[in-house]
Amino acid sequence: MVKAGALYYAVFVAFIIILISGFFILSSYFTRQNLDYYLKRDQLKSNVESGYVLASDNIDLVDLNTEKEIKLYEDENVFITKGIWGLYYILNVKSTWKNQFENSKALIGLDIFKTEKTSLYLTDLNNSLSISGNTFIRGLCYLPKQLVKRAYIEGRSYSGSELIYGEQKLSNQALPAYNEQLIQKNLVYLKGTFNKNDSVVFFENFSKQKEIYNSFYNKTLVLISFVNTQLIDKKIKGNIILYSPNEIIIDSGSELDNLLIYARKIIIKKWYEGNIQAFASDTIIIENNCKIQYPGSLVLYHTKKSPVMFEIYENSIISGDILVINMEKIDRDPSIFKIHKKVVINGQVYTNVTMMHQGTIVGSLYLQKFILKTLSSVYENHLLDATIDFNDLDKHFASSGILDNTKKAKIIKYLE
């Protein structure tokens, strides 16, 4: 006969075994669920990267400000939206599966290494290019039919062994077209017209606030000032636009990152260092020892019949593209785009304004005419101690869209 106590013991043991078994079954189930969740998250992230690859392979795959759905697998899609941030593009890529999603935004530039690697494009206005001193031009050059000759300026002759260190082709009377659509999108802001989805507030509301931040996953924050404005010891970062119909001055103590600036006149004070894109309608002045960090840009777009001023002073470094356009030139226009000695520009420069170039351009230069002013004379289409060299440009560099000459793109950085 089995004792009653033994029966209770057996039932107890069976109960414990059921509990333990149930625990392991539930644990296995939830572990599997957790594993499936993280595997799916990884798959969604992979899908987002695939979206970037597709859009980067052809930047025109997606139209501006429209969402395009692309089917990657049977039940997995990516949604890609393309916008503009200054002279660069923003891609928003979202991958979804059931109630899960992964979203990412990145600043995009064009891969100029996938197109013709032009160092210099000088339009053919029936005069040659004359070079002197330690001038150095390397890479593919489009030049007037009179090509290049040595010159003797200020008691100095040309010191190089070759006039051009690279291939030479004949240029046309007109410059290659710039990206009109991209510029027009920015001119809307330069004229003081904003997107209906923007959050527009007066800059004075933040006058006592040292730090301003806005995520790129929020609406664009537009700060408006109708008076001359100076940024002193301000820290401004993210999805923010600063606009004034007057003058904006940026002090060296300010820390700016990704900021877009639109104004009639923009002055960057000496020793400033930061990442900005600046758009002016009349004047841009970069004082000594400034550093505009990559991916920056400087744009002067003038539409009135009056002179313009764009000047970069000694020892400044600009990493990004520059566009200087005067749409309404006057007779004997005194406007000069000046790059002083010891200035370094890493990127593309495009201008229809007469240029005095005494610094270094690591990248490409597109222009109509040079001018050189010395103490004793003025020389047309002359260079003295100037450098233009595409070959030395960093291979990771991605340009803005000012020249729509390639559909290949690169991710510059991911946005927060």
pLDDT tens figures, 391-400: 999 999 999 9
Residue 379 has a pLDDT of: 93
Q: Which pLDDT does position 98 carry in this prediction?
A: 75
CA end-to-end span of the chain, whole Å?
76
Residue pointed to by tokens 């798959």: 43
240 Cβ contact partners less than 8 Å away, ≥ 6 residues apart: 212, 214, 220, 221, 222, 223, 258, 259, 260
At residue 253, the pLDDT reads 94
The first and second tokens of residue 122, run together, are 């000088």
pTM: 0.90
138 touches 160 (CB < 8 A): no
Q: Which helix (H) or strand (E) holds 48?
A: helix 4-57
What pLDDT, on a 0 to 100 scale, did the predictor assign at position 30? 62
CA neighbours closer than 13 Å in the CB half-sphere of residue 106: 20
Beta-carbon contacts of 97 under 8 Å, excluding residues fewer than 6 positions away, are 40, 43, 44, 75, 76
Task: Say if residues 284 and 302 touch (Cβ distance below 8 Å).
Answer: no
Residue 26 one-letter amino acid: L
Pairing of strands 118-122, 140-143: parallel
Using the structure block, give the residue that is written with the tokens 């990516």: 78
Q: Residues 335-340: contacts with CB within 8 Å, 24+ apart? A: 335/307, 335/308, 335/309, 336/371, 337/310, 337/311, 338/310, 338/311, 338/312, 339/312, 340/311, 340/312, 340/313, 340/314
Q: Following DSSP, what letter does each residue of 298-349 receive, concatenated?
A: EEEEE-SSS--EEEE-TT-EEEEEEEEEESS--TT---EEEE-TT-EEEEEE
pLDDT on residue 24 = 67
Q: Which amino acid is at 398?
A: A
Q: Which residues of the chain have pLDDT under 50?
A: none
Residue 258: other Cβ atoms inside 10 A: 23
Report yes or no: 306 and 279 within 8 Å, Cβ to Cβ: no
- CA 203, CA 221: separation in Å to the nearest integer? 10
CA distances, 308 to each of 92, 124, 355 (Å): 37, 23, 12
Q: What does the pLDDT read at residue 405?
A: 84
Q: Report the pLDDT value the prediction gives residue 312, as an integer from 0 to 100.
A: 98
